[in-house]
């Protein structure tokens, strides 16, 4: 067991692990890597960025022992601990196989750099160890500081490198990320830690807690969107938020947000008329124009690295990010916003890879969004009919032997399905196919073939059921019932 440090610090409100370790190391006059090593967070000479996302109980306990904290305080220093409602930080996010490493590499989590408010850094200069870096600055939907009524900064004013980052390679890609950039250096927490090259090149060292010009101000729409997104990110599992006129979990709301962002960017400029704010829309237009340029022009035009290089990820620059999120929330706040979404989704290029991503994503959005995606995105025809408008994720992979799933489900298995106001014959035909998909990850065609269904009969039998699922709330209710059926089947399965 590692002995506790002779002196430690109390975490500041809203602080996350990188900033806390940086302040603690600065107070002890040692390198952050040394503190990270004592806390069991190093891998070789690196401090992996995945620790920013979440820690397991053993890691949290070691940090707590070394830093004289309670494990709950340590978990609160992670992004997952601070934003329980944010889908990109949930290991149990339905339909996705996530790990701390994959979440740290998600473009919807800013682990490679941090936005910041110079005024907030200045105001926390008196805190022991130096200024405080807020955890919320690492979330893409945190683009403004309401306390100082300004959009956040994101680049060092001297070297123009993203703040709290290792910077870029010569080809524009991020250098390998770490929990703390240049962890072997002893620097004030407010100073830029970027090194323009490898080896012993001098560090930038520019103070980031100094204003270099007038701060950009948010519009009322940006401020409203920021509050909506922040409230959803901190919502508990039993809390609901509004999306497209219905109450949904925070996780489904953020899936709606991601879907809407993809639709806006992929169909631009169709969405330009939705929010009457020419100034902010100009920022979105410039960003999307840069995205559409060929590589390497795109890298030079964007200047904000890997985070902004695909249409599915938000921009790193807070100005277009704020405009994009304001437009997104304006659509989702409108109970009839599905009309706008249908227009955007229908305008996506026929060859767009966004189609595939959205079809996979659809079951995890609100039921209204799922229905809009199903109606608006055309699927290619196959011998077994079109691809399902409501794809089935492999949520129970490996938990049940598919050989125990019969083509006709036992009566006591289908009790949860009987609670649905759905066409029963089609439902009982569709359910075993979906169960096989849930435990194997097979396509609908392969699952039907596995059970022995005639492939030519798939599409006609499913028509009434698809129409039923398009009604608000039905697709979500069906998925919930299927999960209950799966649990019944798993409970009855013979033990190996």
**pLDDT per 10-residue tile (average), the chain, 496 residues:** 86 96 95 94 88 94 96 96 90 61 79 94 92 95 95 93 81 76 91 75 86 87 95 90 94 93 86 64 82 57 46 81 92 92 83 70 89 76 45 82 89 88 88 90 83 67 72 79 88 68
Token pair of 345, please?
């989704």
3-state DSSP assignment of residue 145: strand
Which are the contacts of 242, defined by CB distance < 8 A and separation ≥ 6? 248, 253, 333
* Range list of H helices, 44-109: 50-53, 57-67, 71-75, 79-82, 100-104
Q: What is the pLDDT of residue 382?
A: 39
| Alpha carbon distances (Å) from 454 to 387, 408, 430, 444 | 16, 14, 13, 12
Q: What is the pLDDT of residue 90?
A: 80
Provide the 10 A C-beta neighbour count for residue 475: 25
pTM exceeds cut of 0.85 = no
Q: What is the pLDDT of residue 459?
A: 56
Q: What is the pLDDT of residue 350?
A: 63
User: Is residue 49 a contact partner of residue 177, using CB atoms and an 8 Å limit?
Assistant: yes
CA distance 149 to 170: 35
Token pair of 354, please?
């966004």
Domain boundaries, the chain: 1-217, 231-376, 402-492
Token pair of 306, please?
């890997």
C-alpha torsion 136→140→141→145, nearest 10 = 50
Long-range contacts of 241-247 (CB under 8 A, 24+ apart): 242/333, 243/332, 243/366, 243/368, 243/369, 244/332, 244/334, 244/335, 244/337, 244/338, 244/341, 244/366, 244/368, 244/369, 245/334, 245/335, 245/336, 245/337, 245/368, 246/366, 246/367, 246/368, 246/472, 246/473
């Amino acid at each position: 067991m590692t002995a506790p440090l002779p002196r430690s610090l109390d975490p500041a409100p809203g602080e996350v692990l990188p900033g806390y370790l940086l302040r603690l190391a600065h107070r002890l006059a040692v390198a952050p890597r040394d503190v990270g090593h004592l806390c069991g967070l190093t891998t070789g000479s690196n401090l992996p960025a995945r620790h920013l996302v979440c820690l397991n109980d053993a890691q949290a306990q070691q940090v707590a022992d070394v830093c004289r904290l309670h494990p709950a305080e340590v978990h609160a220093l992670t992004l997952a601990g601070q934003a329980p409602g944010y889908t990109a930080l949930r290991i149990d996010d339905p339909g996705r196989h996530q790990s701390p490493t994959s979440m740290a590499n998600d473009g919807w989590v800013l682990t490679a750099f941090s936005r910041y408010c110079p005024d907030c850094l200045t105001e926390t200069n008196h805190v022991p160890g130096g200024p405080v870096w807020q955890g919320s600055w690492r979330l893409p939907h945190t683009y403004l500081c309401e306390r100082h009524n300004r959009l956040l900064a994101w680049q060092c004013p001297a070297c123009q490198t993203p703040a709290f980052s290792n910077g870029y390679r010569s080809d524009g890609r991020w250098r390998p990320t770490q929990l703390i950039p240049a962890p072997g250096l002893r620097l004030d927490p407010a100073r830029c830690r970027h090194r323009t090259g490898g080896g012993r090149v001098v560090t930038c060292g520019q103070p980031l807690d100094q204003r270099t010009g007038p701060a950009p101000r948010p519009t009322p729409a940006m401020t409203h969107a920021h509050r909506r997104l922040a409230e959803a990110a901190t919502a508990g599992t039993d809390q609901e938020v509004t999306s497209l006129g219905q109450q949904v979990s925070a996780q489904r709301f953020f899936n709606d947000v991601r879907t809407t962002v993809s639709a806006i960017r992929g169909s631009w400029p169709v969405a330009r008329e939705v929010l009457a704010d020419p100034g902010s829309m100009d920022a979105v237009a410039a960003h999307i124009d840069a995205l559409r340029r060929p590589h390497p022009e795109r890298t030079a035009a964007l200047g904000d690295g890997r985070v902004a290089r695909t249409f599915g990820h938000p921009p790193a620059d807070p100005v277009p990010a704020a405009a994009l999120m304001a437009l997104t929330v304006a659509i989702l706040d409108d109970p009839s916003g599905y009309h706008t979404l249908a227009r955007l989704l229908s305008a996506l290029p026929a060859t767009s890879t966004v189609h595939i991503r959205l079809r996979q994503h659809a079951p995890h959005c609100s039921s209204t969004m799922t229905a809009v995606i199903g109606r608006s995105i055309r699927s290619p025809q196959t011998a077994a009919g079109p691809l399902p408008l409501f794809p089935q994720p492999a949520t129970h992979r490996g938990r049940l032997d598919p050989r125990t799933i019969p083509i006709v489900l036992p009566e006591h298995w289908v009790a949860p399905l009987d609670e649905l106001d759905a066409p029963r014959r089609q439902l009982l035909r569709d359910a075993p196919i979906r169960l096989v998909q849930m435990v194997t990850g097979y396509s609908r065609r392969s699952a039907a073939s596995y059970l022995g269904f005639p492939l030519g009969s798939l599409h006609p039998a499913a028509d009434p059921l698809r129409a039923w699922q398009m009604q608000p709330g039905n697709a979500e209710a069906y998925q919930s019932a299927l999960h209950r059926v799966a649990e019944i089947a798993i409970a009855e399965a013979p033990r190996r």
